[in-house]
Amino acid sequence: AAVALGAALAHAATLPAAVGPGVKLAKDGVLKAGIACVGFKLSASQVLAVGAAALPAAAATVGTGLAVTPALAAAAGVAPRLGALLAAGTSVCGVTAIVALAPAVGATGAEIGAATAAVMAFGTVGMLSYPALAKSLFPEGGEAAGVFLGLAVHDTAQVLGAGLAFRDAYDDDAALRAATVTKLARNCALAAAIPFLTWRCSLEAAGAAKAPALLPPFIAAFLALAALRSAGDATLERTGKALGVMDGGQWGAACKAVGERLGAQALLGTAMAGVGLSLSAGAVRGVGAAPFVTGALAAAVVGVVGAG
């Protein structure tokens, strides 16, 4: 929603030059800080509670998307950088993955805009249509339906929307919980996806092997906060005190404040608005239909693997 609102504002009015540095900061530093803080939402105990089937399924879905999408893009004549953005957005965590990868591969504004538009469009289609499909594929609902929604829909907010729709339509809280945790586990693949796709782009651009990019600091921070959250949950369960200092209520409030309110809402919300403000409709139209065809095919592949 923040991306769409920012894009609408940028299209409706000419923004003063004074906002330029703020938009740039939102797309860079604010975005990276938000991704790092969202790591505090991811707990190993929550992931394992979904069931043993969810982790291999998440690995298969993300791995297939990262491998197949660039090949689909190449076959459609899409530039390697744009193919990498589509792969990240479709396979991992939507627009957040796109804008996190973009600086590493040197993506242009037109490429970022086209990838964002395609991933948002097909993610929205999935959010609206996959709850009914999940009920058809998994009539008993519950964890199996939730895992499918968590794997097949692109963006975290879209997964939450699909999970809420499924819960409200079929009175199934278990599916919503499984969808949310499965998506958070899938988001963790961002730590591997960015170096992998950067390295792959460097091969295609240079025609010769280069060393993979080092793990970006904000991804390292994301993993560190996920490890801290996992340690806190484990010590809370074992001793009644998270990290030896907080009771359950205090720890839950801290996790929500850092991971949800600060990371997901304040920082990532601001970053996504900055992305929207920098999008150009003319530049997106200039890349043609091929990225959208690639995005549709990639979304279908990820959905099929998620259902399997």
- For the stretch 81-127, pLDDT in tens is 999 999 999 999 888 899 888 888 888 888 888 898 899 889 889 99
For the chain, the residue count is 308
Candidates 189, 247, 190, 186; CA nearest to 47 is 186
For residue 109, give both structure tokens. Answer: 């504004």
Please work out, in degrees rounded to the nearest 5, the angle formed at the alpha carbon of residue 149 by the alpha carbons of 145 and 152: 130
Q: What is the pLDDT of residues 196-211, one digit of tens each?
A: 898 888 877 655 445 4
Give CA–CA dist 199/156, Å, rounded. 26
pLDDT of residue 281: 64
From CA 189, how far away is CA 226, in angstroms rounded? 12
- CA–CA dist 87, 301 (Å, integer): 11
In the numeric block, which tokens belong to residue 143? 């964890």
Helices (H), 77-155: 80-88, 94-105, 109-137, 142-152
pLDDT category at 163 given cuts 50, 70, 90 is very high
The answer to whether residues 145 and 136 touch, using CB atoms and an 8 Å cutoff, is no
Position 195 scores a pLDDT of 86
**For 134-156, how does the pLDDT look when each residue is reduced to its tens digit (9 = 90+)?**
999 999 998 899 999 999 999 88
Q: Residue 212's pLDDT is what?
A: 46
Please state the pTM of the whole predicted model.
0.80
- Helix 80-88 and helix 94-105: axis angle, to 10°? 150
Nearest to 145 by CA among 157, 162, 161: 162
Alpha helices for the chain (secondary structure H): 2-12, 20-25, 31-38, 44-49, 54-75, 80-88, 94-105, 109-137, 142-152, 156-170, 173-187, 190-206, 217-239, 248-255, 268-277, 281-286, 290-307
Per-residue pLDDT tens digits for 1-15? 676 677 677 667 777
Least Cα distance to 68 among 299, 308, 307 occurs for 299
* Average pLDDT estimate for 177-191: 84
Tokens of 68: 């197949």
